[in-house]
Amino acid sequence: MKKFPNGFMIGAATAAHQVEGNNVNSDFWAMEQVPNSTYKEPSLDAVDHYHRYKEDIQLLVDAGCDTYRFSIEWARIEPTKGHFNEAEIQHYREVLEFCHLKNVTPIVTLHHFSSPKWLISEGGWESETTIEYFGKYAHYVVSELGHLIPYICTINEANMGKQITKIMIKMSASNTKSSDGDVQVGLNMDTMKARMELYYRSLGETFGIDPRNVHTFLAPKTENGERIIMECHQKARSVIKALNPTIKVGITFSLYDHQALPGGEKFVEKEQHEDLLSYLPYLQEDDFLGVQNYSRKIHGPDGEVLKDENARLTKMGYEYYPEALGNVLRFVSKHWDKPIIVTENGISTDSDEDRVEFIERALTGVLQCLDEGIHIIGYTHWSLLDNFEWQLGYAQTFGLIAVDRSTQTRYPKESLSFLGNIKKSGLHSFREIM
């Protein structure tokens, strides 16, 4: 048996739009509702975490976990430009206070994909003005709640737009749909290409702008858009530190375990540079880095190698490969010497036995990295609850807790107590060498 160090955070993560429900002022709500939407279904009530957060956090605590990563929804806090909603900031104050009451460490994400609808009408994530808007939002949240927040992730998966851009280019070049598992977010590739023109016309009408100027966070990014995201991060970090220098500030990235067959090394180097290394100059004053990993990609002399037809896959189409996490942590540690938090790692599956095995193997990798001296301070599993997986709707099941959405009844899975037992007593199956 091997235990994690004292103070090592273990828990689970969610994102506001995916779990809260009725996020009516957000861009995602608008995108789900328009004619010709590429979303398989709308989020609607989601899993009603907005009203049931106490029950959900209590289930996390009862299992033995001590950390909850969640996001504050910008579209709730600032539903119209310049108008901050005191009732909504009070809601998140109560969520944070409940975490502290239950001795749960909150890790707060300020932006997890969804934005206020008005922001997109103002130019969205390709507009210089977004930097100032994000700074004002961060200032309001931290001035009201900062004393309750020990860790802030400014932006979730800052590199996701770049990863989506590569998928779109790949689809256009091949004139075929992308393979499942190409990107670590729920995109509906089946209908996206066919409906895109009609969909964007509808979005243009909804946001009141030229459809070509609809720049949501998950839209393909230009280099300018990439810069704006990172300057939003820097702006928020400076605002947070000016208000409360004790808050630890970081950002999270979607990172595959890129592996090279002979001749594939140059492709791995390119992917690693694009996924993380190109962003490092913006992160020099950060306190921690959030690592989000689900699987691996293998590269040969001609580029990415297709998954073996006999490969074990998750419901998302990723290769089932929990060892990817340890490999990514080793890669990151070669370029980052400050604390690392695993802010997401998990699996969509209908077999909770597969999830238990995934957690065991992934956390074995984390323990091995700790033994190697890598500075990892926490792990939050994705996700606490089965939830709304963006364009793919509710069919994906990443949660440690199942939800019957007809009644919103919670059904904790064995994997939740398994994760909590690791926090309490360690990994019984830990091996020094796999």
The reported pLDDT for the residue numbered 191 is: 61
Determine the Cα–Cα distance for residues 418 and 111; give it in Å rounded to an integer.
30
Say if residues 74 and 111 touch (Cβ distance below 8 Å).
yes
Q: What secondary structure does DSSP assign to 353-419, as a single string?
A: HHHHHHHHHHHHHHHHHHHTT--EEEEEEE-SB----GGGTT-----SEEEETTTTEEEE-HHHHHH
- CA distances to 35, 39, 205, 274, 348 from 30, in Å: 10, 11, 11, 31, 26
The reported pLDDT for the residue numbered 235 is: 98
The reported pLDDT for the residue numbered 185 is: 64
Q: Which residues are catalytic?
A: 157
Query: How many other C-beta atoms lie within 10 A of the C-beta of residue 419?
Result: 26
Determine the Cα–Cα distance for residues 360 and 372; give it in Å rounded to an integer.
18
Helix (H), strand (E) counts: the chain: 14, 13
The reported pLDDT for the residue numbered 195 is: 74
347 Cβ neighbours under 8 A, 6+ residues apart:
294, 314, 318, 320, 354, 355, 358, 398
Question: Which tokens in the block code for residue 355?
Answer: 């999830």
pLDDT string in tens for the chain (434-residue length): 899 999 999 999 999 999 999 999 999 999 999 999 999 999 999 999 999 999 999 999 999 999 999 999 999 999 999 999 999 999 999 999 999 999 999 999 999 999 999 999 999 999 999 999 999 999 999 999 999 999 999 999 999 999 998 887 877 776 655 555 666 665 666 666 667 889 999 999 999 999 999 999 999 999 999 999 999 999 999 999 999 999 999 999 999 999 999 999 999 999 999 999 999 999 999 999 999 999 999 999 999 999 999 999 999 999 999 999 999 999 999 999 999 999 999 999 999 999 999 999 999 999 999 999 999 999 999 999 999 999 999 999 999 999 999 999 999 999 999 999 999 999 987 655 44
Question: Which tokens in the block code for residue 55?
Answer: 């029950």
